[in-house]
Every structure is written in C-alpha cells, then in structure tokens.
C-alpha cells in the first residue's frame, strides 16, 4: 500500500506544472505550439493537394479522359479531406462512362442525396442515372447471379417442423402438478383431513403433456428457412 501511494506521489510530481522547471515549461509550450502548427499545416497542405487533384480530374473529364479523371478523383478521396458535393457527381460520370453502371448510379444517387436534388448538376445526374439503368439488369443488378426463392427442402415450405417433444420425452403425458402424481388432493378441514380425487387429473395422477398437448411431437420453426418456408438461393442470371 505504501509503495502504491508513493508511486502516485511520484506521478503527480512529474505531471504537475508546479514541479516543472520554468525553463522546461518554455520548451513544453514551444513543443505544443509546433505540434499544433504542423497539424494545421499538414491539413492545409492536404486541402491544397485535394484542390489540385480535383482540378486535374475535371480537366480530364472535360477532355473525355475518364480513366484519368477517375484516378485523380480516387487520389483526392484518399486524402480524406472535406470535399465538394460535385466530387460525387464527377466520380459518377467517370464510372458510367467507363461502363461501371451500378457503381456509377450509386455515386450519382449519392450526389442527388447530398444536394437534396437541387444541385448544379441534378438534371445531368438524373439523365446519367437513367442511361446507366438501361445497362443494369433488373434481375441481378449486374452481379451475374439472380436470387430466387425456392420452397424449403427441410420443411417442404411449411416454415415449421415437427420434432419429438422433449418435455414428455415422446410419452404425450406428464405428472400432474396439482397432486404431484398421487391422484388425490388432501384438504385439511381443521377437524381432520379429507381426501378427494384430484380434479385436474381426475385421480389419475397424470395429465396430457402441456407442451405437445399429448401429440408427442411439437412444432418448431425451421432453422433452414427462418420459418418463412422459402429458401433463397443464387442462380446464374440469364441476361
Ligand atoms: Zn442479370
Ligand atoms: Zn409432450
Ligand atoms: Zn392430479
Ligand atoms: Zn424450412
């Protein structure tokens, strides 16, 4: 305990300004200022680099050099700086022009969402989206595989299966909980005990299993299809 306490005291002494030599404090402040300056410097350097990439990208797109334009834009995205909404539009243009219709449509939709459909290039974006949609297979979204629903082979489309009841272990009956299997109910009247047939089990001591209602089997959801009876599978698209 004493060791722990003395450790804490040492820590406090190191990190408390009171114990720092004024000369050292000067160095510490300079260090923090340099750190702040270099962080903001590197941020502004990134911003100006992003601007250069963006201008190059737009120039390439204007010259119909879409591969080149896309490369500049990707370099700009890699800088992870704040970008203008139009960057999504230009990226969409390069993708659609390079026949990457699905991704192109996504980028253009992102642009429309970012600008709430009122951006400078909204009309162009919308017409490019409909152009891209002309090349996108409705069945497989150009993935080459279509998702189709097939009747689940485990449950035959019912969505549920019959399983052996694990409460009664396939017997369909269980011990009466009211008389604990004795078949009689004891009532203490105060003048002595009276014995009655248990009304729950009619004196038999056993009742129908509450879980399977005596059927010895119970319904459970089919795990294979998640209880919907349909199993989704992917088949090659014939587009
Ligand atoms: Zn298809
Ligand atoms: Zn049962
Ligand atoms: Zn009973
Ligand atoms: Zn199933």
| SS3 track for 147-201 | EEEEECCCCCCCCEEEEECCCCCCCCEEECCCCCCCCEEEEECCCCEEEEECCCC
- pLDDT by residue (tens digit) across 109-139? 999 999 999 999 999 999 999 999 999 999 9
The verdict on 101 and 211 lying in the same domain is: no
The verdict on 179 and 100 lying in the same domain is: no
Q: Is 8 contained in some domain?
A: yes
- pLDDT by residue (tens digit) across 102-112? 999 999 999 99
- pLDDT by residue (tens digit) across 183-212? 998 888 888 888 889 999 999 999 999 999
If you average pLDDT over residues 22-47, what whole number do you get? Answer: 73
- Collapsed DSSP state (helix, strand, coil) of residue 217: strand
Ligand lying nearest the CA atom of residue 147: 1
Ligand lying nearest the CA atom of residue 204: 3
Enter the tokens of residue 142.
């150009």
**Could you tell me the CATH number of the domain that includes residue 52?**
1.25.40.10
Tokens 């402040």 belong to which residue?
29
Q: Is 40 contained in some domain?
A: yes
Ligand lying nearest the CA atom of residue 166: 2
The verdict on 18 and 71 lying in the same domain is: yes
Q: Is 52 contained in some domain?
A: yes
The verdict on 177 and 62 lying in the same domain is: no
**pTM, whole model, 2 decimals?**
0.56
Going through the chain in order, the beta strands assigned E by DSSP cover: 145-151, 160-164, 173-175, 184-188, 193-197, 206-208, 217-221, 230-236
pLDDT of residue 42: 75
Q: Is 95 contained in some domain?
A: yes
Domain that holds residue 29: 2-133
- Residue 214 CA to ligand 3 center (angstroms) comes to 16
Q: Is 43 contained in some domain?
A: yes
Domain count, the chain: 2
- Residue 139 CA to ligand 1 center (angstroms) comes to 5
If you average pLDDT over residues 3-19, what whole number do you get? Answer: 44
């Amino acid at each position: 305990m004493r060791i722990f306490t003395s450790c804490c005291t040492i820590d406090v002494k190191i990190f408390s300004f009171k114990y720092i030599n004024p000369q050292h404090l000067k160095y510490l402040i300079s260090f923090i200022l340099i750190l702040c300056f270099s962080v903001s410097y590197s941020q502004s350097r990134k911003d100006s680099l992003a601007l250069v990439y963006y201008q190059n990208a737009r120039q390439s797109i204007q010259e119909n050099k879409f591969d080149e334009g896309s490369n500049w834009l990707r370099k700009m995205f890699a800088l992870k700086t704040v970008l203008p909404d139009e960057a999504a539009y230009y990226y969409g243009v390069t993708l659609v022009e390079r026949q990457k219709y699905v991704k192109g449509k996504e980028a253009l939709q992102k642009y429309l969402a970012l600008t709430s459909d009122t951006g400078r290039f909204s009309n162009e974006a919308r017409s490019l989206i409909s152009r891209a949609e002309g090349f996108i297979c409705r069945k497989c979204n150009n993935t080459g595989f279509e998702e189709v629903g097939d009747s689940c082979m485990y449950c035959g489309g019912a969505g549920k299966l019959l399983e052996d009841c694990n409460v009664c272990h396939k017997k369909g009956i269980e011990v009466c909980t009211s008389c604990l299997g004795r078949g009689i109910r004891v009532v203490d009247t105060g003048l002595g005990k009276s014995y009655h047939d248990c009304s729950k089990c009619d004196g038999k001591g056993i009742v129908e299993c509450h879980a399977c209602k005596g059927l010895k089997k119970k319904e459970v959801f089919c795990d294979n299809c998640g209880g919907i009876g349909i199993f989704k599978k992917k088949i090659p698209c014939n587009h």
